Amino acid sequence: MTTEKMHFEYPVEGGNFSAAGFPSSQVKKTLKQLNVDGNVIKRTVVALYEAEVNIVAHAFKGVIAVDIDTEKIHIRLTDEGPGIPDIKKAMEIGYSTATPEVREMGFGAGMGLSNMKTNADSLVITSEVGKGTIVEIINYFHK
Amino acid sequence: MESEKNRQFHHALKFREDICIGCSHCMNICPTEAIRVGHGKAQLHANRCVDCGECYRVCPVGAIIVEQDDFENIYKFNTRIALIPSVFTGQFPDSVGSSEILAAVHDLGFTHVFEVEEGVEFLNDRFNEYVLAHKQVKPLISPFCPAIVRLIQVKFPTLVGNIILLKAPVDITAIHARKVLTGQGIAPDDIGIFYVTPCAAKIVAVKSPVGEEKSVIDGVINMNYLYNKIFKILRQKKDKTDIPGFSALSGKSVCWSLTHGEADHMKKGRSLAIDEINNVIEFLEKVENEEIDGIDFLELRACDESCAGGILCPGNRFMTVDKLRNRALNCGLNPGGTPRDTPGKIDRTDGYLSENISLDPVLPRSIMKLDDNMAEAMIKMKRIYELNRLLPQVDCGICGSPTCKSLSEDVVQNQASIKQCIFIQKILEQNDKMDVQESVQIMKSIWSDNKLDQNSLKDEINVIN
């Protein structure tokens, strides 16, 4: 069994909605080149995009670290921001703390975390109020 | 019958080596990076080409040609049907009416002349039903433009499931015409259906269709070829007043192949129309990332101004659009009488057609994947990153690949050498790792001996210096 691995990092800037989507675009390209199944690519890209937009909407800044091996893609999004006081509540469909301005831009409908959950094989969120949040997404290539 | 593999790679665009001057204009414009230059000639990578025809537009010497059937083939059939797309009637001056044009096609040797868009009203109803029945797939993508279907197959493989699996208007009209004429007692083998095409992609759609085993069309006639013949007939015609019948098309049908032709007639939900292949690519990138929300139907066309901008259309595309829009406005104002040569109005609930308009699922054939084996692909990808970092990112194309990135990929796939980069050559030369002779040999292998002939600037060489 081979142990080929790849690692990428992308910075995320809080509040810059117009630049959102670049990391998912890059990850999509990479997975296509690796001949990953189309459905897995789709799910990964949706989960990543949602997670990235969460950083842009709520945090000051963040980093997306992507690790790919032949079995899976592991994405870790670390941000410096307000954190999530009640993760369980945040996971509920429709729950949102987004400001009216953010909602006006078409974001913040309260679908983010639940949408991430349906598109990730594994989703782990840890958060410290006043410090920041870490979101870890894992999707497997072969099931 | 060609094998499945060959069928996929059949192209209507042919590169003529005897004319090609190896200028690389085509390589630089190709939206799927399907062209390289080697031995002084453009070389097509058949698996990447989607027959969009952008290369044909930019070739300065006409070295790219569009294959066509011998016109005489029509005489192999006793019943010869011409299927004329409405954009053809938009190629002529304002003074020439559409019925006059269709009559001239008759005079050329066809027994029946039908307009392609006669199938539109029927198809539009089926589209609307299809969108209602497939609400969970968003956005649904029209299968109208064959170049777009192929683009999605090779470049956006995750979106093949979004393509609407219904045939094009030309197929509907052809199936219907065949049924009506056989119903009149004509033997099926006696009926030849010939489609007049505005572009290369539609030729390929007939010769090696996606989503069906064999096309119902028997042959293809290139629009610019027919234009010349018809123009001559119209010029020689003495009696200008004889206009035998009129077209029975609705305004919607006349404009169906123009931008917004489909999108404006989708009843439910939100539809978008996008034309020109680079615009389409930009948008599909976003669709693939699910950054686009709430769109139900996408009309996507490879050419600017859709079929009016087809590479085989001799007229100016903006004038063609204007002419067709005017024709559409006047559709309801036709005088009474019998429409000329319709295959019999297509019943909008025709059961026979409904059974025969489905396409098989469109399969992806990604050009993106670096290797079938993922570990192997990962090794290649790392190597591509490493190589690409060494390159100047000028995308000059002197190496014979369209971009620095594509040279890196070609090297990793054993189709090129990194030494083909002229910047790398200069760096090697400065370090005594390459002599002039070697770099000249490499350049000659890409651009031919002629372009780098030592003696070619004999008289001018001092002036240059």
pLDDT of residue B81: 95
pLDDT at B320 over 90: yes
Strand partners, B140: B297
For CA atoms B386, B389, B392, B394, the dihedral sign is positive
User: Environment class of residue B89 by beta-carbon count within 10 Å: exposed (0-12), middle (13-18) or buried (19+)?
Assistant: buried
Kind plus residue range of the DSSP H or E element containing B222: strand B219-222
pLDDT at B241 over 80: no
B246 or B164, which is more confident: B164
Which residues in A lie closer than 8 A to residue B293 (C-beta atoms)?
106
ipTM of the complex: 0.76
- Distance (Å, whole) CA B250 – CA B270: 23
- Distance (Å, whole) CA A98 – CA A108: 5
Query: Which tens digit of pLDDT belongs to each residue from B355-409?
Result: 889 999 998 888 888 998 989 999 999 999 999 999 999 999 999 999 999 999 9
Taking chain A, what is the end-to-end CA distance rounded to the nearest angstrom? 17
Starting from the edge strand earliest in sequence, which strands make up the sheet with A61-69, in order?
Answer: A5-13, A61-69, A72-80, A132-140, A122-128
Q: Closest residue of B to A52, CA-based?
A: B291
Which residues in A lie closer than 8 A to residue B138 (C-beta atoms)?
none
- Distance (Å, whole) CA A104 – CA B72: 63
Which residues in B lie closer than 8 A to residue A69 (C-beta atoms)?
378
What string of H, E and C letters represents the secondary structure of A26-76?
HHHHHHHHCCCCHHHHHHHHHHHHHHHHHHHHHCCEEEEEEEEECCEEEEE
- Token readout for B156 is 């956006």
Contact A42 B290 (CB under 8 A): yes
B371–chain A nearest CA distance, Å: 7
The DSSP letter of residue B132 is H
pLDDT at B6 over 60: no
User: Rounded to 5 degrees, what angle do the CA atoms B154, B159, B160 make?
Assistant: 70
- pLDDT-wise least confident of B71-80, B142-151, B447-456: B447-456
Which residues in A lie closer than 8 A to residue B291 (C-beta atoms)?
21, 24, 49
Which residues in B lie closer than 8 A to residue A106 (C-beta atoms)?
293
* Domains of chain B with bracketed CATH: 4-66 (3.30.70.20), 71-355 (no CATH), 374-464 (no CATH)
* Stated length of chain B: 465
Q: Tell me if A56 sits within 8 A of A129, measured CB to CB.
A: no
Best residue of A4, A26, A36, A45 to probe chain B, by most B CBs closer than 10 Å: A4
Mean pLDDT for the stretch of residues B332-353: 63
B303–chain A nearest CA distance, Å: 25
Q: Does B437 touch chain A (CB under 8 A)?
A: no
Using DSSP's 3-state secondary structure scheme, residue B228 falls into helix
Q: Closest residue of A to B372, CA-based?
A: A35
Contact B378 A68 (CB under 8 A): yes
Query: Which tens digit of pLDDT belongs to each residue from A101-127?
Result: 766 666 665 567 788 889 999 999 999
The DSSP letter of residue B163 is B
* Domains of chain A with bracketed CATH: 5-140 (3.30.565.10)
A97–chain B nearest CA distance, Å: 21
In this complex, how many residue pairs, one in chain A and one in chain B, have their CB atoms less than 8 Å apart? 67
- Mean pLDDT, chain B, integer: 90
- Distance (Å, whole) CA B297 – CA B455: 60
pTM metric for this prediction:
0.89
Which residues, 6+ apart, have CB-to-CB distance to B6 below 8 Å?
Answer: none
Contact A33 B370 (CB under 8 A): yes
